[in-house]
Amino acid sequence: MSVIKLTALDGSAVQFEDSTMAGSGGMKDVYFAPDRSYVVAWFRKPQDFNSIERLKNIVGPYRDNIFNKPGGDYWNNLYCWPTTIVQDKGRTGIVAPSYEKQYFFEFGSKNNDSLLGIRGKEKEGKWFASANHQQKHLDPQERGDWLKYLAIAVKIARSARRMHAAGLAHSDLSYKNVLVNPRSGSACMIDIDGLVVPGKFPPDVIGTPDFIAPEVLRTLKLPLTDKNRSFPRRETDQHALAVLIYMYLLYRHPLRGGKAHDMSDPQRDEELMMGEKAVFIEHPTDKSNRPNLKDVKPSSLPYANTNKLPYTLTGPYLKAMFDRAFVDGLHAPHLRPTADEWETALVKTVDLVQPCVNPKCDNKWFVFDNSTKPQCPFCSTSYKGLLPVLNLYSSDGKGNFRPDNHRLMVYTNQYMYQWHSSRKIVPNEKLTPEQRKPVGYFVFHEGKWLLINQTLTGLKDVDTNKRISPGSSVALYDGQKLLLNPDDGGRLLQVQMVKT
C-alpha cells in the first residue's frame, strides 16, 4: 500500500492511498485516507482560476457560515461537505468526509444479493425512487416504510433550504447526489463541490436527466452568452426538489406519462417531454399525459396507476405544494415552492400520518384523509374504532386563538413536542436538546384515549378549568378544548373524535 502525503491549501496535512480507487464519478476519481475517515477526490480535468476560486469559497466562507455558527453541528449528518483543497502535479482535488456506514447496502438486492450484487455499495437514491427498482430488485429489508420516506424528504428539503439561505444552489440536485437510508429515514447531500454561487461562479453541469428544469432543457441549444439561456440556479433546485419528493413518496416520475411528442426521434421526444412540452401526469385539467398502463412494467404497479394511488394521498399540504410545483410553476420558475415551504408542508404532513392496522402493509403508514372512514390507500385496509384528531390553535397574546391549519393525529405512543404546544418553536436544526424532548404522549387504555402529560406545566381542560399537572393524564372526548401553553403563541387543541 502506497500512502501519499500532501499539504492542503489551508496548511493541513492530508494523506491518501493511491493504489486503489475508492470510487469514480463523472468528474472525479476518489481515494481513501489510510484511516478511512475522509477521501481525496481528484478532478480529472484541470481546474481553471474561476473553478478553483469557487472551490475556495465552498470550503472557506460558505462552509464556515453553515458549520461554524450556532447549531452548525446539525449539518454534519446532512451534508458531505468538502473541507479543504489539495493540489499536486498539476491536479486539483478536494478533501471530504467519508460516507457514514448507514449509506451502504447491508442486504442489497433480492435472493441474498445474487440479483444485482450491490451489497456494500452506496445507497444511491435511484434505488428507492421507483416502484420497479424497489419491488423488482431490492431486498425488502432495505426498503423502509412510508414514514421514513417522509423523514427523508424533510431532511432533503431542510438541506436545500439552508443552502439557498446561504446564497448557494446545488445545480445537480437529484437522486444521484443524495444518499438515503430508508431504514432510518436519513439523507445526506453529496457532490457539494459543484455548488453554484449565483452571479459569481457558473455551474459545471446542467443537471441529471429526470431532474433538469424545463427551462434549462428548453434553452439548452442556445449559445452560452445568450441572455435567454437558462442555467442551474435556486429555481432549478426547487424543481428538482419537488421531483425528488414526489418520487420518494409515490415511486414514479411526475412528468413521465403516456404522451408522445416525437415518435421519430427518441432524444427529441425526451427533450420535449421534460422541457418545452412538459405536463404533470396528474394535471387536474390537462389529462393528456396520464400514464398508459398498457406500457407499464408489472413491477411498477400499483404506483404507476394514478387513479388507484393519486398524489392527493400525500395529504392537503403536499397536494398544494405539488400543484404549485408541477401545475403553476412547471413553466413559471418564480411560482415554484421554496425549500422552506416544502419543509413546513412536510413537517405538518408527518403530524397527519396514521399507522396502518394491516401488519402486512408494505408502507405501514398513511395520511389521514379527513374522512369518517379512513383507509390506507396502499393496502385498502380500513381503520376501526375511535380516532382522535387534534386541531391546533395559537394565542395572539390577547386571549384570542386563531386556527393554525395544523392537525395532529393520535395513535398509541404518539408523542407531542414543544413545537406542538407553541407556534414560536419551530422543528428545525435550531432546536435545543431540551426542545427535542417530548412533552406528552397518547395511549389507548380501557376504551379511552389518554394524553399523558410529561412536562407541560400549563396544561388544562378549558371547559372544566381543570389543570392537568405533569405526570398525570386526561381522557380525550369530542369537542374538548385543551390549553397546552398559556403564553403568547401558546397552543390550544380542540379534540375531534372520528367514529369509524
Q: What is the pLDDT of residue 251?
A: 96
75-130: pLDDT as tens digits: 999 999 999 999 998 899 999 999 999 999 999 999 999 889 999 999 988 999 99
User: Under a CB-based contact definition with an 8 Å cutoff, are residues 205 and 172 in contact?
Assistant: yes
Q: What is the mean predicted confidence (pLDDT) over 128-136?
A: 92
3-state percent helix, strand, coil for the chain, nearest multiple of 5:
30, 25, 50
418-461: pLDDT as tens digits: 999 999 999 999 999 999 999 999 999 999 999 999 999 999 99
Task: Look up residue 205 and give its DSSP letter.
Answer: -
Answer yes or no: is pLDDT of 407 > 90.
Answer: yes
| Mean per-residue pLDDT of the chain | 92
Q: Which pTM does this prediction carry?
A: 0.94
Q: What is the mean predicted confidence (pLDDT) over 9-32?
A: 86
Select from 209, 205, 332, 327 the least CA-distant residue to 274.
209
451-500: pLDDT as tens digits: 999 999 999 999 999 999 999 999 999 999 999 999 889 999 999 998 87
C-alpha cell at 467: 389543570
Answer yes or no: is pLDDT of 27 > 70.
Answer: yes
Distance, CA of 190 to CA of 179 (rounded, Å): 7
Return phi, psi of residue 6, to 5°.
-135, 165
Instruction: Provide the sign of the torsion angle of the four alpha carbons 458, 459, 463, 464, taken in this order.
Output: negative
Q: What is the mean predicted confidence (pLDDT) over 185-191?
A: 94
Tell me how far the alpha carbon of residue 173 is from its chain's centroid.
11
Angle at 356 between CA 246 and CA 380, to 5 degrees: 75
Kindly give the interhelix angle for 339-350 and 146-165, rounded to the nearest 10 degrees: 150
53's enclosing H/E stretch is helix 49-57
Task: Kindly report whether the peptide bond that precedes residue 302 is cis, defined as omega within 30 degrees of 0.
Answer: yes
Tell me how far the alpha carbon of residue 398 is from its chain's centroid.
37
% of the chain exceeding 90 in pLDDT: 77
Domains of the chain: 3-98 (3.30.200.20), 104-351 (1.10.510.10), 385-499 (2.60.200.20)
Task: Look up residue 444 and give its DSSP letter.
Answer: E
Q: What is the pLDDT of residue 203?
A: 67
Under the banding of pLDDT at 50, 70 and 90, the label for residue 371 is confident
Q: Is 397 helix (H, G, I), strand (E, B) or coil?
A: coil
31-44: pLDDT as tens digits: 999 999 999 999 99
Answer yes or no: is pLDDT of 198 > 70.
Answer: no
Q: What is the pLDDT of residue 204?
A: 65
List beta partners, residue 492. 393, 483
312-367: pLDDT as tens digits: 999 999 999 999 999 999 999 999 999 999 999 999 999 999 999 999 999 999 99
282-296: pLDDT as tens digits: 999 999 999 999 988
